[in-house]
Structure 1
Amino acid sequence: MRIIDIKTFPVDCFRTNWVFVKVYTDEGITGVGEATLEYKEKALIGAVEHIKESLVGQNPLNIEKIWHDTYRDAYWRGGAVLMSALSAVEMALWDILGKALNVPIYQFLGGKVNDKVRIYVNGWFAGAKEPKEFGEKAKIAVERGVTAMKWDPFGKNYMEISNAELDKALQCVAAVREAVGDQIDLLIEGHGRFNVPTGIKIAKELEQFKPMFFEEPVPPDNLDALKEVKTKSPVAIAAGERLYTRWDYREMFDKMAADYIQPDISHAGGIMELKKISAEAECRYIPFAPHNPSGPVANAATLQLAASCPNFCILEIMYSDVEWRKDVTTENLHYQDGCITISDKPGLGLEINEGECLRHPYQPHTLRHYTGALTDIRPAKTEFYF
């Protein structure tokens, strides 16, 4: 079997663009991956084209060799763009292997530890601006069976937050806690926006609401700063969505800088790289909670990975999405009691619909984190997909 082509399919999904990658072989077996990288899609597509130059003609089943050679030959190693391109191609190669042997990917990773995985939802708050609105939307999510939810209540603040703005953020958290009760897990997102003293201050104020964790309290490029917040925080700290490969995570683990780790399968190297990272976390008794706010292909790949990880804890997923999500792939999620069942279909267990992808081409989108538009995460017309 030989690789004959690799194509990218950017698909507008309102807040960003999904980027699906499809690998074609001379035996007619194809594989799909996802490289969704918020707001840098053109660079990402170019990186996939560079990878394609060296992969055409190679055996797609030599996954470890292809990954190693591609990573080594980049010279300027790592980073969001190159690693996202490699991650998507790697996923697609596993998909091809699973289809060729007619087994789900988790079988290659040691088989199932988990038949289903617990999820927490993101995006449930779409359109909310005031604490009362967050509470109302949280109550609706719980009525749909949600048992854990995440959001960023900190507006457009960066590095520091005034007492007035912090009070408003805490009112928002209080409104959600009151609306959903004590049995629902709340996960508070910081988006890497605060300095050390502000991160510590916020963490101490959050303790009263018993959050599952406070995510990315400080920017991702200084793990000593993260460790400082973790050391003084009375609540658990989660981080790692903007770390790439096991080499980045080595420093995270050496410092024990986070209580939960959150590598993203679309950015940190793909399925096997996350399996290696999760194993490193397991021997340090750190829960594995993958970052996963992307599209259906990344979600399918993360579910296959989660099936085989003993220290898997909880998986992020978007609560609702653009109405064409159901058309661009054959995704079919089974959701019950706060969990999603893991597919037993060959490979990743889904296909992309190329024609439907082309109907929703790339659209430019900008970062919302510092503009006050964080909750504008969904269009007026959306669909629940679990």
Structure 2
Amino acid sequence: MKITAVESVRVEEFSNVLWVRVHTDAGIVGLGETFYGAGAVEAHLHDTLAQRLLGKDPLAIEALNREMVNLPLAQSSTGAEYRAASAVDLALWDIFGKSCGLPVHQMLGGRCHDRLRVYNTCAGYKYVRSQNIKPVGTWNLGDGTGPYEDLDAFLNRADALAESLLAQGITAMKIWPFDAAAIENDGRYISSAQLKRALEPFEKIRKAVGDRMDIMVEFHCLWNLPTAKQIARELEPYKPVWFEDPIRMNSPLALAEYADATSVWVCASETLGSRYAYKEFLDRGAVDVVMTDLVWTGGLTEGRKIAAMADAQHLPFAPHDCTGPVAFAAAVHASFSQPNTLIQESVRAFYTGWYKELVTEVPRIENGYVYPMEAPGLGLELLPTVFERADTRRRISELK
């Protein structure tokens, strides 16, 4: 079997999502995906990677992954080069599973769990649904329609939101009420009034449902170290599960200092890139929960290595999902294949909403748990309607 074409698919409405379809002479087509800066990723895919992929054996996944990420600007990065490599890598694993008639989690070594607990990242229907993604500026509050406009809910009705999630059996949620203050003050300090306002959702949740709801806190790398430690102290009485990306993820020493200053777990994170970046943070003892996004970190090939590194240090693994539907499916396969998976991120506004506009299947979530996808490969395809849309753009590089 050999790769005969590399195709990219973009839809203007979802302008940051890029799908990659790897075609083979056996008639098997693998589906991959990445997120953010889709135009730059597409250019790298066709101008640089295609010539390294066409004519090659798609089942030589490890070798092809090394070929893609060994380029001078691609190493240890989450830039366009690594995102393109990630999308192709997912497509290769999809081909592997389809060629064997087995789901990707089986190809990764088999299931370690029968079901996995999920937490709900409290985004809304149009969260990050724009070209230029930036905290607060692209939350698109008030633009979504449907029962799970969870971003507006955590800001204004966190008590009702927690009760709604518990009614579905979901016992963990992630929120980011400190972002507005960080943007207003450039992450340099937080006023007493801003701090009080940002703590309100935690007060409401604990008053309404007590300790029945676990709370993860996302900071989006927006704070300097002293302010991040100040916020951590104020949050500790509310017993959050973890603090995610409190500072920019470019200093293992600074994050280790932060971790030493709080009793709450530190989660780091999908922004780190390849295993080499994770190793520096793990060596410093700066991380309690290891999170990856497979469409940024080098795909399943790299993601499982990061999970193994975490396991070697007795740390839990928690795949990221707040991007696209193929990324979510891949994360679920990775979660089931790794023995140290703690919990799987999910966004109910996405998997009950726009994901279903784009793909044939989404992972099954019931009563707060996700279940393995059992169809061959990743277990989903782009819907035919995606290719019929007026705002769909396709580009293909073929073997000559």
Partner of 2:118: 119
Q: What is the aligned counterpart of 2:389 among 359, 365, 378?
A: 359
Partner of 1:77: 75
After TM superposition, the structure 1 stretch with the greater mean CA deviation from structure 2, 327-336 or 187-196, is: 327-336
Q: Residues 231 and 357 of structure 1: is their aligned pair in 2 closer, same or farther, counting only changes over 3 Å? A: farther
Report the RMSD for the aligned CA atoms in angstroms: 2.1
Structure 2, gaps ≥5 residues long:
124-147, 394-400
Superposed CA deviations along residues 166-206 of structure 1, whole A, max 9, x for unmatched, are: 11111122112223331111111111111111111111111
Superposed CA deviations along residues 293-339 of structure 1, whole A, max 9, x for unmatched, are: 11111111111111111110011111213844213211143222211
Partner of 1:298: 327
Contact 1:328 1:357 survives alignment (8 Å): no
Partner of 1:369: none
Q: What is the aligned counterpart of 1:216 among 233, 245, 249?
A: 245
In the TM superposition, residue 362 of structure 1 has moved relative to its aligned partner by 7.3
Give yes or no for the alignment of 1:338 onto 2:335: no
Partner of 1:379: none
Q: Residues 170 and 17 of structure 1: is their aligned pair in 2 closer, same or farther, counting only changes over 3 Å? A: same
Q: What is the aligned counterpart of 2:225 among 185, 196, 200?
A: 196
Q: Residues 58 and 119 of structure 1: is their aligned pair in 2 closer, same or farther, counting only changes over 3 Å? A: same
Partner of 1:138: 162
User: Which 4+ residue blocks in structure 1 deviate beyond 3 angstroms?
Assistant: 11-14, 73-76, 124-127, 129-132, 360-363
What SS is found at the alignment partner of 1:73? coil
Q: What is the aligned counterpart of 1:60 among 58, 61, 64?
A: 58
After TM superposition, the structure 1 stretch with the greater mean CA deviation from structure 2, 134-143 or 187-196, is: 134-143
Distance 2:92 2:68 in 1: 13
Structure 1, gaps ≥5 residues long:
364-386
Give yes or no for the alignment of 1:4 onto 2:4: yes
Distance 2:44 2:318 in 1: 28
Contact 1:132 1:175 survives alignment (8 Å): no
In the TM superposition, residue 135 of structure 1 has moved relative to its aligned partner by 2.4
In the TM superposition, residue 263 of structure 1 has moved relative to its aligned partner by 1.1
Superposed CA deviations along residues 3-47 of structure 1, whole A, max 9, x for unmatched, are: 111112223566x6322111111111000111112xx22111112
Partner of 2:131: none
In the TM superposition, residue 353 of structure 1 has moved relative to its aligned partner by 2.2
Structure 1: which amino acid aligns with 2:23? Y
For 1:1-386, what aligned pairs fall within 5 Å after superposition? 1-12=1-12, 17-37=16-36, 40-49=37-46, 50-80=48-78, 81-122=80-121, 123=123, 126=150, 128=152, 132-156=156-180, 157=182, 158-159=186-187, 160-321=189-350, 323-356=353-386, 359=389, 361=391
After TM superposition, the structure 1 stretch with the greater mean CA deviation from structure 2, 216-225 or 90-99, is: 216-225
Partner of 2:396: none
What SS is found at the alignment partner of 2:206? helix
Contact 1:116 1:342 survives alignment (8 Å): yes
Structure 2: which amino acid aligns with 1:26? D
Contact 1:12 1:360 survives alignment (8 Å): no
Distance 2:175 2:316 in 1: 20
Distance 1:13 1:312 in 2: 33
In the TM superposition, residue 107 of structure 1 has moved relative to its aligned partner by 1.9
Superposed CA deviations along residues 50-89 of structure 1, whole A, max 9, x for unmatched, are: 2112211111111111111121234552422111110110
Partner of 2:137: none
Contact 1:261 1:289 survives alignment (8 Å): yes
